[in-house]
Structure 1
Amino acid sequence: MSTEPDIDTLNEEIERLRQKNAELLNESKKAKARTSELESALQAANGKLMDLELNKPVEAMLKDLFIVSPRLARMELEEHYQFVLGEDGKIQMQDKQGKPVEVQLDDEEAIRPAQFTAKDIESALVKTGKFDRILIGSRASGGGAVGVKSGSGYTPKPAVANEPKPASPFGLR
């Protein structure tokens, strides 16, 4: 009859293990739910960070460089280039293969990676010739010719008030 107490003891042990298993499963579900909640919060924060650190500055830069809306300009650019945040937190312009776009400005001798400046981006885009139709051209507004005084503008000839008007050839007034 020693088997009956052993069976009762084993049944109690099994029941205790089942309760512990249910408790651990419940804790696991709570941990997974918390992890999922934190991951969604992290994704939302990363989205806001990308918007503030990358998308808005790129949009502002494109607004100054193109005659079309920044959204359309970015769609055109993304066929050939991409803007990414570098490890240093600075915006970089890369080609579709992930290589930094290189520029050589007129006043420089060396070729270097393009920085996130209007001058560098415009230089890189003009060099390709693919964006000439939507890039803003020269912002020159004239008036810089030699001998022209600043702000002179158009000055009409003064009308002579005392000069008699010629008579009408038909004799009518």
Structure 2
Amino acid sequence: MSTSERLIESTRELLWERGYVGTSPKAILERAEAGQGSMYHHFTGKPDLALAAIRRTAEEMRATAGALLDGPGTPYERIEAYLLRERDVLRGCPVGRLTMDPDVIADPALRAPVRETLDWLRDRIARLVEEGREQGQFAPSLDGAEIAATVVATVQGGYVLARAAGSPDAFDTAVRGLLTLLAAARPSAS
């Protein structure tokens, strides 16, 4: 792995663990096992490196979610696969956690990939719900945008509940509850 790749990967890990303020250039260099001038050789500074790391994390999240949401099965089964996928629940969402970082949210450039990723996810799920409605798999009364916002809020809120409880059980309970509601919105469930 090249030095710039090690710097990006180290920054991704540190942002997830410590947030932007807690991710010092020194910590990045130590984790990347890179020399003192390496960061400034490859990036203009910490904000530039953080942006590269956030973009990489966002791309990875979209690829992982997209593989499930665009995969085989009915719209319900694809949403279910997304909700039930393996996650490191107690670490939280590497993208969603950035919304709680005041320095990321205050910087439009750092915030942009976070917003774009969450918007992409809501849009993709909304289109799946609409597809399911058109195929008669979801009740006509379901609004794709509302269900998509609920799915994303359940996942992000599930991370918060699990971290607060110190157990993934709270996340799993939230996901099971949402899947029960979605299953009840299927015409065959009536």
More strand by share: 1
- Return the structure number with greater helix share: 2
Question: TM-score band, normalised by the shorter chain?
Answer: under 0.3
Flag the structure with more relative contact order, 1 or 2, with Cα contacts below 8 A and sequence separation at least 6.
2
